[in-house]
Amino acid sequence: MRLAVLFSAFALFFTPVPSVAHHHFADETRHGVINVVSTTGIINDIVKNVGGKKVSTTALMGPGIDPHLYRATAGDVKTLARADVVFHHGLHLEGKLSDLLNGMRARGINTVAVTDEIPKSMLLSAGVPGNYDPHVWFDPNLWSMSVRAVARTLSEIDPANSAFYSANASDYIAALSEVDGYARRKFSAIPENLRFIVTSHDAFAYFGRAYGFEVTALQGVSTASEAAISDIHRVVDVIVNNRLPAIFTESSVSPRYIKAVKEAVEYSGVLIKIGGQLYSDALGGKDSEQDTFYGMFKHNVDVIYGSLSTNTERELATAPKIQDPGL
């Protein structure tokens, strides 16, 4: 059954679709709506806010979906083929969709990687020459460049509303700056010796660089690789040697590895807690506080701050009190 579904999907892909090269986006701009497909909810959040009512938005991947492992369905292929523009992340985040996205581009579908305009000098290595860590949204300053890329693309499709898209992009970037400031104020109270984030896969390196945390993970930047026993021992050593109070699960990754780490740490005689769930590669469920980028990012800040600060009352006693901005 699974093979039949996959065969149908790719058969549909190789069926002729209308050429965007001859479409010139006349219909959607005339009716005031551009049909936009985004691979992830994180990108879709940008599109909804920048495009407003002038776009119709669809995200291929919903809450809790791991983009590293996601495979296209027959419905996805139809959705992509009908789009006026497809926004994807790039940097090999959607590894299983690469061939399909390249094929859509070759057939004239406007396909845009939102990270293409981020200077390579600002990207972190993925451990393989020429490959970069794709999780750039965890540095709001970098992610603002992707917001501009979306606004610029929509303006190229619909020049009459360029000022509208640009203004909305500026508002979105201002919100990124606001939550970035919130994070910096919160984290200023966490002592340097406890600035460690231990998670399942290496999604928080940009976050760590931006806010002064050392990030340790069981898996690499992609969840396609399995963690080995040696990875568990490596992470356990970091926790025990630094007497860390908490480690974190992720919303789009199985918690089994983190639970194994907790058991191994406690077997060595050191208490450790799972501080909470962080959102890494996907937003939260619909109508939750984490179903927007702003809400997801703030949630992560609050969980990390709460888990690392409540265990350090003596260290924090002389620290200046943080004025919660109530964001």
Closest CA to 251 of 277, 232, 225: 277
**Average pLDDT for residues 150-162, to the nearest whole number?**
98
Q: Is 129 helix (H, G, I), strand (E, B) or coil?
A: coil
Residues 6+ apart with CB under 8 A from 175: 294
pLDDT for residue 170: 98
pLDDT tier at 231, thresholds 50, 70, 90: confident
pLDDT for residue 230: 87
Per-residue pLDDT at 12 exceeds 50: no
pLDDT digits (tens, 9 = 90+) for 177-227: 999 999 999 999 999 999 999 999 889 999 999 999 999 998 765 655 677
Separation between Cα atoms, residue 259 and residue 254, nearest integer Å? 10
**Average pLDDT for residues 230-243, to the nearest whole number?**
92
Q: Where are the domains of the chain?
A: 2-183, 184-316
Angstrom CA distances, 58 to 31, 35, 36, 55, 193, stand at 18, 8, 6, 10, 43
Domain 2-183 homologous superfamily, CATH? Nitrogenase molybdenum iron protein domain (3.40.50.1980)
Per-residue pLDDT at 16 exceeds 90: no
pLDDT digits (tens, 9 = 90+) for 98-115: 999 999 999 899 999 999
pLDDT for residue 75: 95
pLDDT digits (tens, 9 = 90+) for 248-307: 999 888 898 899 999 999 998 999 999 999 999 999 999 999 999 999 999 999 999 999
pLDDT for residue 314: 35
Strand partners, 277: 249
Per-residue pLDDT at 324 exceeds 60: no
pLDDT for residue 20: 33
133-147 in b/e burial notation, b at 16+ Cβ within 10 A?
A: bbbbbbbbebbbbbb
Angstrom CA distances, 121 to 93, 118, 132, 144, stand at 19, 8, 10, 16
Class at the top of the CATH hierarchy for domain 184-316:
alpha beta
> Parallel, antiparallel, or unpaired for β 196-201 and 214-219?
parallel
Contact 66, 95 (CB under 8 A): no
**Paired tokens of 297:** 């990012």
Q: Is 259 helix (H, G, I), strand (E, B) or coil?
A: helix
Separation between Cα atoms, residue 23 and residue 33, nearest integer Å? 15
Per-residue pLDDT at 319 exceeds 60: no
Averaged pLDDT of the chain: 86
Residues 6+ apart with CB under 8 A from 210: 138, 139, 140, 141, 180, 183
Amino acid, single-letter form, for residue 60: L
**25/291: higher pLDDT:** 291
